[in-house]
Copies of this chain bind each other. A is one copy, B any other.
């Protein structure tokens, strides 16, 4: 039988299936409380509203046809209005590009912006979907750690002063996956300033920005510089199966992405794009819907963090969970979360070890916990199981 391309195994090494994805299979057993996943809660997805929108969309047969590679026009218009409000400037349609989830935007941007060997700076720990794209593009990866205020922009500045010249700096600016933190306004301005000064692209990857619990996140990094390409998505606020992500980027970047999109998959679905446009344009309904998601997730996050602090005391430092979908919890001793995972599954709970997201650090004592799909009592039970796993046998 004929061979697969000679360099394929090499390239696949760089694209090894994410540890998280493999874990999801492991932890699908119903007796396990799976905090390892990264899925939004389907019980909170607006099923009936989507069904109404689907029926409306199908009233027009042209929704069954091929659509434009850059996205169905009316969806781009809704997104342009939405992003204009978010960015505080009139975003023209030409700068809005609809992708098959924001992962596709990352993937096409990887092709458009990166030559093999180009330097990409990511946050450490990193969103693994971005790492996968940058590795596949043959980029050289450097990392900058995060703290409670998000990316350590001072360390990025040092890296630039040492003469490193990234083509792209990637940040999950709001409610970071996996680290849970949000970049402060001061650092957003500083990061944009560095992009202007050194001439690199910032990819501001923002799927979670709407999911704030107490107060909205700061203005996007994209408000501070034209060198910022902003990605967002309907997956976390509406439903992943709409496969609606989008990008706000300068016209010439959008046109380059458009040519690649034609080769990649011709176009998206006018049907799911009209459904998305319908829901995003129904602003009063949307505000109420997103509020419901926020308050549910906020309550769950607080239950999880509260139980962690109560059970583990000073042995764990956890993020405050002010938004998004994840809590990052780090043992302050030398607990190895990867080694303990199978024991955790035996105790009926699962998480993702910090090492799965590590770039230059190891994060061996950290774990990512997703709180989106369980109610508060179940999350407290999950923490009880974590306590048994990690030898915190105090009675509850």
Contacts and interface: CB of A to CB of B under 8 A. Distances in A.
Interface of A: 1-8, 11-12, 15-18, 21, 39-40, 42-43, 45, 47, 50-51, 54-55, 58, 61-67, 99-101, 103-104, 107, 111-115, 118, 129, 132-133, 136, 167, 195, 199-201, 226-227, 235, 239-243, 250, 252-253, 256, 258-260, 262-266, 268-272
A369 to B, nearest CB: 19
B263 A132 contact: yes
A4 B271 contact: no
Q: Which of A8, A16, A200 has the most CB of B within 10 A?
A: A8
Contacts of A101: 265-266
Contacts of A226: 1
A2 B201 contact: yes
A104 B63 contact: no
Contacts of A272: 241, 269, 271-272
B265 A107 contact: yes
A309 to B, nearest CB: 31
Chain multiplicity (copies):
2
Contacts of A64: 42, 45, 47, 50, 239-241
A286 to B, nearest CB: 16
Contact of A256 (B8, B51, B259): B8
A45 to B, nearest CB: 4
13 contacts: A2-B201, A5-B112, A11-B111, A12-B259, A15-B260, A45-B61, A51-B58, A104-B265, A107-B265, A133-B263, A241-B271, A243-B265, A264-B264
A118 B3 CA distance: 12
Given A55-B51, A132-B263, A264-B264, A61 B39 contact: no
A100 B42 CA distance: 23
Contact of A132 (B18, B240, B262): B262
A315 to B, nearest CB: 33
Contacts of A195: 2
Contacts of A264: 103-104, 107, 264
A25 to B, nearest CB: 10
Contact of A54 (B54, B100, B262): B54
A129 B263 contact: yes
Contacts of A3: 199
User: Helix, strand, loop or mixed for chain A's interface?
Assistant: helix
Given A100-B265, A265-B101, A4 B58 contact: no
B259 A16 contact: yes
Given A51-B54, A61-B45, A64-B47, A241 B270 contact: yes
Contact of A263 (B5, B40, B136, B268): B136
Contact of A17 (B16, B66, B167, B259): B259
A360 B199 CA distance: 42
B54 A5 contact: no
A258 B18 CA distance: 12
Contacts of A67: 241
A54 B58 contact: yes
B15 A259 contact: yes
Contacts of A47: 58, 61, 64
Q: Which of A7, A51, A243 has the most CB of B within 10 A?
A: A243
A363 B104 CA distance: 36
A293 to B, nearest CB: 13
Contacts of A260: 15, 136
Given A5-B167, A8-B256, A64-B239, 19 more contacts: A1-B199, A5-B118, A8-B112, A15-B259, A15-B262, A15-B263, A17-B258, A42-B65, A47-B64, A51-B55, A54-B54, A65-B241, A66-B240, A103-B265, A104-B264, A104-B265, A241-B270, A264-B264, A271-B272
